[in-house]
């Protein structure tokens, strides 16, 4: 089909249409402007998507650290409850560690860490 016959067939013709009113153009540009205005905070404003992603990464790291600390706290609580239930074991441990005391028949072994400097 040639260009002249396309115009004749009315495919690309504006025949029978009213020209767009200035109000319609104004409304279109206002809507485009409104959409752009609504997009600004998402991309560049306070709390934009990059800051949200960084906050989520920081939250995940903090939650992992909290899990480690929670495990440590649970172990300390269990040790405390054991000490409270069996105070004689605490006294024995203190005597052994602080004062170097041994029971009758025990053999003392001193193991030195080769990575520590000697005095």
* 62 vs 16, higher pLDDT: 62
Residue 110 has what DSSP assignment? -
Please state, in angstroms and as integers, the Cα–Cα distance from residue 44 to each residue in 39, 47, 49, 51, following that order: 9, 8, 8, 10
- b/e map 38-60, b = 16+ CB within 10 Å: eeeeeeeeeeeeeeeeeeeeeee
* 68 vs 47, higher pLDDT: 68
Copy the structure tokens of residue 44: 């560049």
SS3 8: helix
Q: Where are the domains of the chain?
A: 21-99
pLDDT score of 66 more than 90 = yes
In this predicted model, what pLDDT tens digit does every residue of 37-65 receive, in sequence order? 888 877 777 778 888 899 999 999 999 99
The closest of 105, 87, 108 to 97, measured between CA atoms, is: 108
Torsion of CA 55, 58, 62, 65, to 10 degrees: 170
Mean pLDDT rounded to a whole number for the chain: 82
Alpha-carbon distance of 53 to 61, in angstroms, equals 13
| Contact assessment for residue 89 and residue 83, using Cβ atoms and an 8 Å cutoff | yes
């Amino acid at each position: 089909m040639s260009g002249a016959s396309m115009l004749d067939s009315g495919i690309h013709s504006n025949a029978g249409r009213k020209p767009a009113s200035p109000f319609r153009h104004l409304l279109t540009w206002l809507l485009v402007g409104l959409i752009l205005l609504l997009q600004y905070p998402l991309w560049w404003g306070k709390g934009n998507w990059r800051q949200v992603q960084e906050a989520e990464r920081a939250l995940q790291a903090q939650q992992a650290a909290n899990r480690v600390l929670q495990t440590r706290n649970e172990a300390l609580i269990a040790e405390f409850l054991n000490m409270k239930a069996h105070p004689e074991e605490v006294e024995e441990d203190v005597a052994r560690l602080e004062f170097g005391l041994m029971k009758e028949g025990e053999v003392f072994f001193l193991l030195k860490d080769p990575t520590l400097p000697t005095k």
